[in-house]
Amino acid sequence: MRWHKPFFSAGETLVDRILCVLGAVLFSQGPEFMQQYLQRLGGHLEEARRQFVQFLEIARQSGKSVQELAAQYAANADPAVVSMGKLVNETEARMNALAAANTALRNASAWERPFVFLRHIDREIASGTANDFKPAVPTTLEGMLYALAGVIVILAIYYGLLRPLVRRICGGSGAKPVAKVA
């Protein structure tokens, strides 16, 4: 018997418990991150809407639709005015994309939300959210479900990948030695 086997056996139960807590804490932050992302997304959406409403008002005062106003800007010889036409179109497209992402995330179930989030992610908003992210203790059912999922995922990784590797390295395969026949 090697000296490290008892140490490995005693430490193994501690390792899997630590991993359970780590998985639960990490995964439980998913709903909190998405909640903070949704707040930031909503702010961007409101700002895009505010800007687009200004374009609508300019178009209304000119007796045109926003699309006609943008086309008029685009046909102008002045590059600065052409840029305004592009800005009108980009603002409308961004407003629509943000609104679609906001609606999809808010209507997604707890299990769908991570996939909907990845499908509609705005990297700039996600980066800003990550920079300002404040972890929180989950007290919602969704947070608890994510914590449970974290425990399951981390233990699956540990018992499926890491533990066999550590046992192989430490010689703790658990198999009894076979007696040699002389």
- Does residue 135 lie in a domain region? yes
At 155-182, the pLDDT tens digits run: 888 888 877 777 777 665 444 444 555 5
- Does residue 180 lie in a domain region? no
- Does residue 58 lie in a domain region? yes
Provide the mean pLDDT of the chain: 85
User: Which has the higher per-residue pLDDT, 112 or 171?
Assistant: 112
- Does residue 103 lie in a domain region? yes
The token duo for 42 is 């909503």
Confidence of residue 1 (pLDDT cuts 50, 70, 90): very low
Domain span at residue 161 reads: 4-170
Q: Does 117 have pLDDT greater than 80? A: yes
- Does residue 42 lie in a domain region? yes
At 33-71, the pLDDT tens digits run: 999 999 999 999 999 999 999 999 999 999 999 999 999
- Does residue 181 lie in a domain region? no
- Does residue 176 lie in a domain region? no
Instruction: Indicate the pTM of the whole model.
Output: 0.72
Average pLDDT over residues 91-107: 97
Angle CA(74)–CA(54)–CA(85) in degrees, nearest 5?
10
Q: How many domains does the chain have?
A: 1
